Structure 1
Amino acid sequence: MQHPAIELENLWFAYGASRVLDQVSLTLPAGEFLAVLGPNGGGKSTLLRLLLGLVKPGGGALRVLGREPGQAGGRIGYLPQFTNVSASFPITVLGAVALGLVRPGFAGLSGWVGPAARRAEREAALQALSRVGLADQAGRRLSDLSGGQRQRAFIARAIVSGPELLLLDEPTASVDGKGRHELMALLAELNRDMTIVMVSHDMSTVDGCVTSIACVNRSLHYHAESRLTPEIFAQAVGADLKAACPVELVAHGAVPHRVLLDHDHPDCCGGAHRKDFKDAGTDAGNGKGGAS
């Protein structure tokens, strides 16, 4: 029987006396593509650190791929939030991807293993680059790539060991609109072979690619869908539900319309915001409204 990818039960974590996460519970089935949304400081990145075993919870239960955090070895791939590369750092794209294979007795493509093992590692790195569409860039310096290409190279490094679970922290933060769309299409393809958990502050990343959403703001609210309802929007930005309307996402952010509910849908605002708008217009026409 396949274990869930992630199991959290009444988990909490604190920095000093301040709890960042409190009473967090989640059972995530294998094969999901989960978007973790929430305001800055809400605990999203801390949740990833807990899953990786980099920090220990203050209490509660946590299992990743059926094991304790930090015990899953190469079964987890990770893309951190900050992946800047100095222009003076002389590493090739292939060499950077091979670093994802580091383990006892191996030091990238620089040695410490026999010729056959080095060939195998090189082949694995090239295969990962091919999967992200960068096989023809293997010999270039990593610092010479564009922002979108560099992010793809880092994803190749995260998947070079063939993980079952891929954890991504703000993968589209340094990518332009076109690159963001291409990156999300790549992640949707990778999701065929692995569970993905993606932390993001950008709601446009939902984009119909993810299969579920978790809103994290100290607590965690799980939604087994990818539509941006007012409830999800309010939880994600830490806003009052009564003031939350998905149309605001279109007005103030690059969110594709197909991930939004129809304005008259009962799970949206049922036309309430549209009615309020019409009333405001009528009042303005009668001299009762405010300035435009």
Structure 2
Amino acid sequence: MRSKLKEDGSLIRVENLSFAYETEDIIRDADFFINRRDVITVVGPNGGGKTTLLRILMGQLKPRKGRVLISGAQSRIFGYVPQYSTMDPSYPITAFEVVLSGRVKNFGFYSRADKQAAADALEAVGQEDSGHKSFFELSGGQRQRVLIARALAPDPEVLILDEPTANIDAEAEKQLNVLLKKLSLEHTIILVTHDLGFVNEMTTRVLCVNRHVKEHPVDSLDDGLIASAYGRQVKVVRHDHDLHHHEGGAE
């Protein structure tokens, strides 16, 4: 159940939340909160419940028990950037049209304000010169920025990114990091990833999701904590202030 949260400083509060597909438990007894301007990194193994948790937060799935409390206008709170685009690559669509589609309309007519919001969103991600170009002719990093702009177009409070580093090269990842730091000044950000290199200095808290949801401050991450989240031994190392992980035995 999603309900309006009374003002207590939190933007989102999850209470005693559980979810199951038929008889298989996916999320068990989750309790956590998210404040405005938090940058939350969600980590955990594939199949551990990360994407399911996101879908519950966004109201796409109903929990078996528990509730999600949200402060403010629920219809505009989330902007979502998927791991993969579901658009048909043979469809002739420009980057601007992709972003404009984020201004969802019941009858397909976009106002001048909608078009200005789309232009502003492209500028916010540094792709204002790509608006007239075919979306599928852009590089992987550029396409991802356009998808971020689409998520920003309705002016959400929370920006959710699912595996943001999965389909981009190292240089695009650096640029993404810079962009997210800028966006975090005005938005709450939730990053879902198994790439611990993205658990860096801009992350305020970490949610480890593997059926249970455990919250940790960034500076508490160590080999044992991450191993408990992944259900196997994981080696955490630091490179240039970023965290990375290696699965398997200790080095």
Which of 103, 106, 123 lines up with 2:105 in the alignment? 103
CA distance, structure 2, for counterparts of residue 100 and residue 37 of structure 1: 27
Q: Distance in 2 between matches of 1:161 and 1:19?
A: 34
Amino acid aligned to 1:93: A
TM-score (normalizing by structure 1)? 0.76
Residues 124 and 21 of structure 1: is their aligned pair in 2 closer, same or farther, counting only changes over 3 Å? same
CA separation in 2, counterparts of 1:17 and 1:231? 30
Higher helix share goes to which structure? 1
- Structure having greater relative contact order (Cα 8 Å, sep ≥ 6): 2
Q: 1:227 to 1:87 in 2, by over 3 A?
A: same
Higher strand proportion = 2
1:244 deviates by 4.6
The 1:159–1:226 alpha-carbon spacing in structure 2 relative to 1, beyond 3 Å, is farther
Corresponding position: 1:223 with 2:233: no
Q: Could you tell me which residue of structure 2 aligns to residue 246 of structure 1?
A: 236
Please give the residue correspondences for 1:68-217 in structure 2 after superposition, counting only pairs within 5 Å.
72-105=74-107, 107=108, 112=109, 117=111, 119-217=112-210
Cα deviations by residue, 1:153-194 (Å, 9 ceiling, x for unpaired): 000000111111111111221111111111122111101101
1:135-165 per-residue CA deviation (whole Å, 9 max, x = no partner) reads: 0000001010110100000000001111111
Distance 2:8 2:138 in 1: 39
**Rg larger for:** 1
Quick one: distance in 1 between partners of 2:234 and 2:168?
Answer: 27
Instruction: Specify which of 52, 55, 62 is matched with residue 61 of structure 2.
Output: 55
How high is the TM-score relative to the length of structure 2?
0.88
Q: Match of 1:21?
A: 27
CA distance in 1, matches of 2:220, 2:171: 22
- Partner Cα separation in structure 2 for residue 177 and residue 215 of structure 1: 25
> Which is worse superposed, 32-41 or 79-88?
79-88
1:256 is matched with which residue? Answer: 239
Paired AA for residue 241 in structure 2: R
> How far has the Cα of 1:236 moved from its partner?
3.7
In the alignment of these two chains, the number of paired residues is 240
CA deviation after TM superposition for structure 1 residue 231, in Å: 3.5
**Matched residue type, 1:60:** G
Alignment identity in percent?
A: 37
Which residue type is aligned with residue 231 of structure 2?
Answer: G
Residue segments in structure 1 that go unaligned for 5+ positions in a row: 248-254, 262-272, 278-292
Tell me how far apart the structure 2 counterparts of residues 212 and 194 of structure 1 sit (CA, whole Å): 15
Match of 1:100, SS? coil
Contact 1:75 1:163 in 2 (8 A): yes
Secondary structure at the counterpart of residue 28 of structure 1: strand
Q: Distance in 1 between matches of 2:201 and 2:220?
A: 8
| Separation of aligned partners in 1, 2:205 and 2:188 | 12
Amino acid at match of 2:98: A
